[in-house]
Chains A and B, each alone.
Chain A
Amino acid sequence: MKIFKKICAGWVLAIAQCLIIPAAQAHPHIWIEGGIELVFNSQGNASAVRQSWLFDELFSTYALQGMPRDKSGQVPSAELDKITGEWMNALADPESHFFTKITLGGKPLAFGAPLNARSTWDPKSSQLFLSFELPLESPVKIDAKGLEVDIQDPSYFVAFEYKSGSRAFKGIDAPAQCKFGYMPPRPLDPKTERLLWSIPPTQKELPENLREAVRQLSHQFTVKCP
């Protein structure tokens, strides 16, 4: 009986640990394979961020559930336009805001309503593809400090992937001296992690040094034009 109790206690501890770690985790239900481009105007200033999102098969199929199809399995473009419009409206809400943050030299940049939003559906792969452009409120000159685009769903409902690695980020009509970089999300070092845990959930704003640190949990795209 004693041995049984010990086994039980050990097992309970293991379960408790399993509970503690994922307790904070939301389940992702949507996977997006992303692509991103920075558009420059004729003066060599950055003017818009162009994004392409390829959705996973499960979500794509669910999103198109019950929609009319033609013989080849294609969904009429009017239906696709409707769903695109709904998404663009929903994504504009301040909390998610296209899962995109743009900063210039560390200062946030505002962007306007999305342009050229379009969805296509590939019946063969069962995947939806969405592309849209976020125009910067006013075009900006990028210097050595650089512009950064951070992509992430803070609620982890959507998991982003940028498979082509450092080639995922491209410039369109970019000045020759501009350098493009990409850093995938990376785990925090244990010390930062402990610091984060020590902040009470009631505290809405992170201290400056931690805010800098948690940025590495997003997909970070940087452009520097020295």
Chain B
Amino acid sequence: MINLRMRFLFLAALVLVFGFSDLALAQSAHPFATPEQRLSVPTSGWFAEFTGQMAAWQGQFYRQLTGAVRAWKQDGWAAWLLLGLSFGYGVFHALGPGHGKAVLTAYVLANKETIRNGALLAMLSAFLQALVAIALVAVAAGVLQVSGVAMNRATWWLELASYALMAALGAWLVFKHVLQPVLSSLRDRMPAHAVNTQHTHAQHSHGGHACNHDHAHHPHTHHHTHHHTHVHDENCGHVHMPDPALISGPMNWSKATSAILAVGLRPCTGAIFVLVFSLAQGFFIAGIAAALAMGLGTGLTVAALACSSLWMSQAIVRSDSASQQRWQKALMLILQALASVAVLALGLLLLSAALSTGTTSN
């Protein structure tokens, strides 16, 4: 069992590392201005060079979108072709490098969201992304008829807002899962609080010691107490929840909204391109349908990723003996802290990158 858990932990770390492999990337402006900044790998050559084979494959796929828009214009049944291609593009897009996936996964890990909430967050942020793209193109290109350069500018502002929110969210997570536990464990060492030390399992993420009293009455439930909820301090209702609580539980919407906005505010370039193209073809509805189908594909894929990382982290904590529980809990806390730091670091990195390219590329 330990071996299995160790493997899970390893995998969780792996997902985290690869989710954040974009951390090493620096942004710079590409000669052809688009809503997307070029992500150039540090070696500016070999590292990216040999991934090019996949580009050819993706090219075939993405470029069928224009044909599909035209086909739908001719024949209503061809709508399915466009929807299918867009959905597939969304899946592929989510599996490729992208900060949205990374931030969302880290957020649900750090926050120990439930499986259901993790999936919901992923879906909602992907749909928001699609809606932002639709609104942006409808207003900027459809109504105001601004140039592509102006749309790049608008996308840049959305990007900036998204990254700023991400950094703020990261700062809050770090406060909650790194600073607060450290401070409270320091406090617990003081003699006046010595009586409370047996309850150290309650120290984080639930607003502190208000919960300790509950736990004292239900010692048998301790190993379930950390998985699932984000209800506020006044309600420690997580204590009695059995395993299903890991799957569904209440969502803290004020927190969730900032996470959804942080990921969803920045529209996907592929969606913008298809929307502008369908608008130019006088067939905007196809673009809207395509953008939503892309959102569905991305949302489902990110949901799968977020849920798998939650499953892994939960598998680490699930345990039978008390001695195992302790170190597994410690591991879980470390994972949470790491995920929190990752959100903050990624937010700051992307923010600074967006700020540095903003003046030159637009």
Binding site for B on A (CB under 8 A): 5, 8-9, 11-13, 15-16, 18-20, 22-31, 56-59, 61-67, 86-87, 90-91, 93, 95-96, 126, 152, 154-159, 161, 185, 187-188, 193, 196, 199, 201-204, 206, 210, 214, 217
What are the residues of chain B within 8 A of A203 when measuring CB–CB? 43
A96 to B34, CA, bound (A): 16
Query: When each residue 30-68 of chain B gets 1 if its CB lies under 8 Å from chain A and 0 otherwise, what string results?
Result: 111110101111111111111111111011001101100
Cβ 8 A contact of A12, one of B40, B58, B311: B311
Q: A90-B32, A161-B59 are in contact. Are A202 and B52 (CB under 8 A)?
A: no
Which of A29, A62, A93, A188 lies in contact with B50, CB distance below 8 A?
A: A188
The complex places the Cα of A12 from the Cα of B314 at a distance, in Å, of 13
The complex places the Cα of A161 from the Cα of B54 at a distance, in Å, of 13
Chain B nearest CB: distance from A94 CB in Å? Answer: 10
Q: Which residues of B contact A210 (CB under 8 A)?
A: 46
Q: Supply 9 further A-B pairs (C-beta < 8 A) apart from A22-B95, A26-B51.
A: A8-B315, A9-B11, A19-B305, A25-B54, A27-B270, A31-B63, A93-B31, A156-B55, A187-B53
Q: State which of A11, A16, A155, A204 has its C-beta within 8 Å of the C-beta of B39.
A: A155
Q: State A90–B152 Cα separation when bound (angstroms).
A: 16
A169 vs B294: C-alpha distance when bound (angstroms): 38
Query: Which residues of B have CB within 8 Å of A19?
Result: 15, 18-19, 95, 305
Whether B50 and A214, one on each chain, are in contact in the complex, defined by CB atoms closer than 8 angstroms, is yes
Is B7 close to A, CB under 8 A? yes
Per the bound structure, the CA–CA distance linking A188 and B141 in Å amounts to 43
A27-B93, A66-B147, A93-B31 in contact; A154/B45 too (CB < 8 A)?
Answer: yes
Number of A-B residue pairs at CB separation under 8 A? 205
Of B43, B56, B305, which is in contact with the most chain A CB atoms at under 10 Å from its CB?
B43
CB under 8 Å from chain A, chain B span 1-37: 4, 7-8, 11, 14-15, 18-19, 21-22, 24, 28-34, 36
Contact partner of A29 (CB less than 8 A), chosen from B51, B95, B269, is B269
Asked if B150 lies at the interface with its beta carbon under 8 angstroms from chain A, I say yes
- For the complex, count residues of B whose C-beta is within 8 A of A: 70
- The interface residues of chain A lying within 8 Å CB-to-CB of B337 are none
Given A29-B36, A65-B151, A95-B44: A156 and B277 interface contact (C-beta under 8 Å): no
Determine if A64 and B52 form an interchain contact, defined as CB atoms under 8 angstroms apart: no
The 6 nearest A-B residue pairs measured at CB: A90-B31, A66-B147, A58-B273, A25-B51, A65-B148, A57-B66
A55 to B12, CA, bound (A): 41
Q: Is the CB of B47 within 8 A of A66?
A: no
- Least Cβ distance of A3 to chain B in Å? 13
Alpha-carbon distance A190/B174, docked complex (angstroms): 42
Contact B95 A206 (CB under 8 A): no
CB contact under 8 A between A156 and B51, given known A31-B63, A59-B32: yes
Residue of B nearest to A199 (CB): B46
**What residues of B have a CB within 8 angstroms of the CB of A27 in the complex?**
36, 58, 93, 96-97, 269-270
A214 and B32 contact, CB distance less than 8 A = no
Asked if B308 CB lies within 8 Å of chain A CBs, one says: yes
